[in-house]
Amino acid sequence: MIPRYSRKEMVDIWEPATKFKIWYEIEAHACDAMAKLGVIPQENADAVWKAKDVEFDVARIDEIEAVTKHDVIAFLTHLAEHVGSDEARFVHQGMTSSDVLDTCLNVQLVRASDILIKDLENLLAALKKRALEHKDTVRVGRSHGIHAEPTTMGLTFARFYAEMDRNLARLKSVREEIGTGAISGAIGTFANVDPRVEEHVCEQLGLTPEPISTQVIPRDRHAMFFAVLGVIASSMENIVIEIRHMQRTEVLEGAEFFSMGQKGSSAMPHKKNPILTENLTGLARLVRMTVVPAMENVALWHERDISHSSVERTIAPDATITLNFALNRLTGVIDKMLIFPQNMLDNMNKFPGLVMSQRVLLALTQAGVSREDAYSMVQRNALKVWEHRVDFQEELLADEEVVAALGVDGIKEKFDMEYHTKHVDTIFKRVFG
């Protein structure tokens, strides 16, 4: 995660100050529960809340950690400086560092999910807007990079919408999966801390108690979380590859936003580079690369080892910050991207009428011409278009055999674009309801 590809809102989640605040809340709520259970005096639980509005001093905690060599103890020591040594003496009782660290991590991942959910919703809004706007903007569909049959630009945006909408559902689902907390003490047996403490803390933090933890929360949850981010990143790559293709000099059916005649533009007006979408192609790789280590993290030794920790310290901020930045950048690109409908028509008509050749072939066979003959009739005219860029319809109209089979009107009718767009409404209804 580097500043260039970061947004404050997500970066804040991973700041030490945020982490300490969450640790504080976990400890304070745990004290409440313990007091209620009669395990610690109520007044000590109450005292902890004195620090409610404290901004914890990160530098001071670091200073203590330099001595104690233990981050949670350093924090607790600092907390005692605010609450009073004596009042704070029951804080963390029966708990382990992992109770605090793992529950905190999941709070952070849930918050990160909430931001990413909002990001996806914004992206969906932009995609929907552009889809509706260009619902009927005809362009040629391409398979293998080669012209196939007509489609519309709206359908392109609509399929990106549908794909990202699935990603939204996946993200919401994995947000639930990752939204667990554990306050189960050493080895997760609750020997020193009552399960009701866990229940209370989780409820207060909007989490579900982890049904069975082993000091740590099981890492299959985190693996699933990063896997979903990896799928979202891959879908993002799918979208930006389309835009990069659209912006190629020879294609130029769309482009990242620029003001065409703007003062101060480059001396080479054709040199508008799709650098944002190229950048997003790279960012997709960065998010995706976190999936395998997250999966490698699942197998811990016995009840826990700490091999997962250095990985998560890195990939949890990196993947969420990068994806947050990327989704916002992508939304901006979609929202403002330039669409060139005339170029779409020009491209489609590079070989005039040729995209209709399959339909003519089908019509000929339906009109009773044998498959072989039909094929030959189409081919001899299509080749002229391919070689001399003449108009396919005109060639057909000048071909007596074809006219005999389909009639003049029959031929003309085959070049009706609405044939290809007649189900756009159906598809839009499926996608947007």
Cβ(64)–Cβ(77) below 8 Å? yes
| Residue pair 89/27 in contact by the 8 Å Cβ criterion | no
Q: Is 144 a catalytic residue?
A: yes
Of the listed pieces 103-111, 113-121, 312-320, 334-342, which binds a copy of itself according to CB under 8 A?
312-320
Kindly tell me which residue out of 25, 114, 136, 303 binds a copy of itself, with binding defined by CB under 8 A: 303
**Is residue 278 a contact point for a copy of itself (CB under 8 A)?**
yes
* Least distance in angstroms from the C-beta of 97 to a copy of itself: 11
Strand 208-209 to 146-152 pairing: unpaired
Q: Is 208 in the site for a copy of itself (CB under 8 A)?
A: no
List 173, 265, 307, 370, catalytic entry? 265
Q: Considering the rule CB under 8 A, would residue 42 count as an interface residue with a copy of itself?
A: no
Pick one of 146, 342, 388, 400: the residue that binds a copy of itself (CB under 8 A).
Answer: 146
Where is 254: in which H helix or E strand?
A: strand 254-255
* 95: nearest Cα among 217, 189, 176: 189
Cβ atoms of residues 234 and 284 within 8 Å: yes
Q: Does 251 bind a copy of itself (CB under 8 A)?
A: yes
Q: Using CB under 8 A, pick the residue from 91, 186, 334, 339 that binds a copy of itself.
A: 186
The answer to whether 173 is a known catalytic residue is no
- Indicate if the alpha-carbon torsion angle 393, 399, 402, 407 is positive or negative: positive
For strand 146-152 and strand 338-339, is the pairing parallel, antiparallel, or unpaired? unpaired
Q: Which is nearer to a copy of itself, 49 or 190 (CB)?
A: 190
Judged by CB under 8 A, which of 54, 203, 338, 375 binds a copy of itself?
375
Q: Which of 82, 98, 113, 144 is catalytic?
A: 144
Query: Can you tell me which of 37, 275, 398, 408 binds a copy of itself, judged by CB under 8 A?
Result: 275
CB-based burial, 43-68: b 16+ in 10 Å, e otherwise = ebbebbeebeeeebeeeebeebbeee
Two structure tokens written together for 125 = 């809004």
- Under the binding rule (CB under 8 A), the answer on residue 77 touching a copy of itself is no
By CB under 8 A, is residue 145 in contact with a copy of itself? yes
Among 63, 379, 412, 413, binds a copy of itself (CB under 8 A): 379
> Quick one: which segment of 18-26, 27-35, 50-58, 152-160 binds a copy of itself (CB under 8 A)?
152-160
Q: For Cα atoms 144, 123, 16, give the angle at the middle one, nearest 5 degrees.
A: 120
d(CA 308, CA 206): 24
Contacts of 232 (CB under 8 A, 6+ apart): 116, 120, 164, 167, 170, 171, 287, 323, 327
Query: Does 5 help bind a copy of itself (rule: CB under 8 A)?
Result: yes
Q: Residue 17 interacts with a copy of itself (CB under 8 A)?
A: no
Among 383, 398, 404, 408, indicate the residue that binds a copy of itself (CB under 8 A). 383
Asked if residue 286 binds a copy of itself (CB under 8 A), the reply is yes
User: Active-site residues: which are they?
Assistant: 144, 265
